Amino acid sequence: MQKGNRNGQKQRYISIHVAEKFDDIRTLQNILPIADFTYEPTEITVGELVYFNSTSYDPDGTIINWTWNFGDSNMAYGEFVTHQYNNNGVFIVNLTVMDNDSATDSIEKTVIVGNQPPVADFTYDPEFPIVNETVYFYDESIDVDGEIISWWWDFGDGYYSDLQNPIHQYSAEGIYIVNLTITDNDGLTDSVEKSLTVQKLNNPPNEPSNPYPTDEAIDVILNITLTWDCSDPDNDPLTYDVYFGNVSSPPMVAANITDSSWFVEMLEQRTRYYWQIVAWDNHGVSTSGPIWSFITLGPPNNPPYAPVITGPNIVQMNHDYTYMFQSSDPDGDQIRYFVTWGDSNEDVSDYYPSNTPVILNHTWITTILPIMILKMTATAEDDLGAKSTTIEKWVVVVWFKSLQMAYSTPLQKIISNKDNQNYQRILNNHYQLLQILLK
Ligand SMILES: [Ca+2]
Ligand SMILES: [Ca+2]
Ligand SMILES: [Ca+2]
Ligand SMILES: [Ca+2]
């Protein structure tokens, strides 16, 4: 790679100086300097900083001048210089040195500035593709002294592409090693690898089911293992949060358990317990089960007493009326009320402490008859499921306020007879007659 221009043998020049004074006549023999240099690095690429070091010397004096010609029209002066080549190629570097007697020597060396290799890089989108989703690959490779002329993508699943910016779909979940190899216009290559995680589309767990004790079970023992079933559409492993207590929105008593069972003990007798399971899959997605309940064993439960209904007997259609229901439970249990309004509508109240008046509203909507007698019913049920006897109440529903006012007293009499079996028929068939009778 390096070669000198010297002709092998050292050349010597002799000069004779004649002094002004005879005593100073001396015959002097100047020896030529010897030019040489090294450079670092020896394998040069475009843009790289190259250090040129003169190793020239003068056997009988000193070097006083160094002139560098880098072969690319650039010059420099000095014993130690640096240079960067902007193009690859072959360059003749010339160094000329001069000694203190103005004698010179030169040396030339050939340097080869190589091709800068390309640098491979890429990105892809989306970051976490799911199975069969289109993944976009973007070439981000660079070549500082040329251009990239070919690409080879290995998607890691047995598929390849030679496009610069390919797309690809993965048909199975997993972690894939994607390799991109590029080649620049001078034939140098580079590769880069990145791992890509393909996820499956996640489904939430199925709803917890098949509780034990079964929902609404009674006489459940006081120490019992609750169990349930649950699965995940993706067959993900599941964990469970358990909510349990004697209130209808039970608190969480266990979190993140892996078994589909939970032991509870020392439960109170003849008490309704509520419980709920929340299932989580390993993608952090959850599904809540229904709130189940059961009643523990204990002394016999007594039903609430029959409720009392308080409210108007004669009402106008399409107006809202308020009724109060009240009962008590011999055991002091909470009570809720089932109410039928005689027009095929029903209501169920929340649970309230024993002996608490409970208000429910109702509107009888337009009927085809100007006067109708309807039968309301109310039943009290304690929170252990024991029902009272059912109480009835007759209500006369009229079209107009005037009817309500006019017939209030006589209708009240009829209703109070507790013998209304035929009155609806009478009212329907003999409305005019009744009108007269009631006057
Ligand atoms: Ca010399
Ligand atoms: Ca290049
Ligand atoms: Ca899942
Ligand atoms: Ca009771």
* The domains spanning 22-114 and 122-198 adopt the same CATH topology: yes
| pLDDT over threshold 70, residue 401 | no
**Residue 427 contacts residue 434 (beta carbons within 8 Å):** yes
Predicted TM-score (pTM) of this structure: 0.45
Ligand 4: distance of its center to the CA of 380 in Å?
10
Q: Mean per-residue pLDDT for 130-146?
A: 92
Ligand 2: distance of its center to the CA of 139 in Å?
16
Q: Residue 413 — pLDDT band, cuts 50, 70, 90?
A: low
**Which ligand is nearest the CA of 388, by number?**
4
**Which ligand is nearest the CA of 47, by number?**
2
In angstroms, the CA 380 to CA 387 distance is 6
Residue ranges of the domains in the chain? 22-114, 122-198, 209-296, 308-438
| pLDDT over threshold 50, residue 9 | no
CATH 2.60.40.10 assigned to 122-198: yes
Ligand 4: distance of its center to the CA of 334 in Å?
8
**pLDDT by residue (tens digit) across 349-386?**
999 999 999 999 999 986 666 777 788 999 999 988 89
Ligand 2: distance of its center to the CA of 118 in Å?
5
Q: Residue 22 — pLDDT band, cuts 50, 70, 90?
A: very low
Q: CATH assignment of 209-296? A: 2.60.40.10
In angstroms, the CA 286 to CA 292 distance is 18
Residues with CB under 5 A from ligand 3 (ion): 202-203, 232, 234, 236, 281
pLDDT of residue 427: 55
Ligand 3: distance of its center to the CA of 230 in Å?
12
**pLDDT by residue (tens digit) across 291-324?**
999 999 988 889 999 999 999 888 888 899 999 9
More confident call, 359 vs 12: 359
Number of other CB atoms surrounding residue 402 within 10 Å: 10
Strands 358-363 and 160-161: unpaired
pLDDT of residue 45: 86
| pLDDT over threshold 80, residue 215 | yes
Q: Which amino acid is located at 40 in the chain?
A: E
Q: Which amino acid is located at 241 in the chain?
A: D
| pLDDT over threshold 80, residue 182 | yes
**Which ligand is nearest the CA of 99, by number?**
1
Q: Whats the size of the chain, residue-wise?
A: 439
pLDDT of residue 426: 52
The CATH homologous superfamily for domain 308-438 is Immunoglobulins (2.60.40.10)
More confident call, 116 vs 109: 109
- Which of 3.30.70.20, 3.40.50.300, 3.30.465.10, 2.60.40.10 is the CATH number of 22-114? 2.60.40.10
More confident call, 5 vs 278: 278
**If we measure between CA atoms, which residue out of 382, 383, 388, 361 comes closest to residue 307?**
388
**If we measure between CA atoms, which residue out of 332, 437, 340 comes closest to residue 395?**
340
| pLDDT over threshold 50, residue 8 | no
**Which ligand is nearest the CA of 329, by number?**
4
Q: Residue 409 — pLDDT band, cuts 50, 70, 90?
A: low
DSSP 319: -
Range from 136-145, 168-177, 260-269, 417-426 carrying the lowest mean pLDDT: 417-426
pLDDT of residue 437: 42
Radius of gyration of the chain (CA): 52
Ligand 1: distance of its center to the CA of 71 in Å?
27
pLDDT of residue 125: 94
In angstroms, the CA 294 to CA 15 distance is 125
pLDDT of residue 146: 85
Q: Which amino acid is located at 274 in the chain?
A: Y
**Which ligand is nearest the CA of 281, by number?**
3
Ligand 3: distance of its center to the CA of 136 in Å?
26
| pLDDT over threshold 80, residue 439 | no
Question: How much is the mean pLDDT over the chain?
Answer: 87
| pLDDT over threshold 50, residue 35 | yes
pLDDT of residue 249: 93
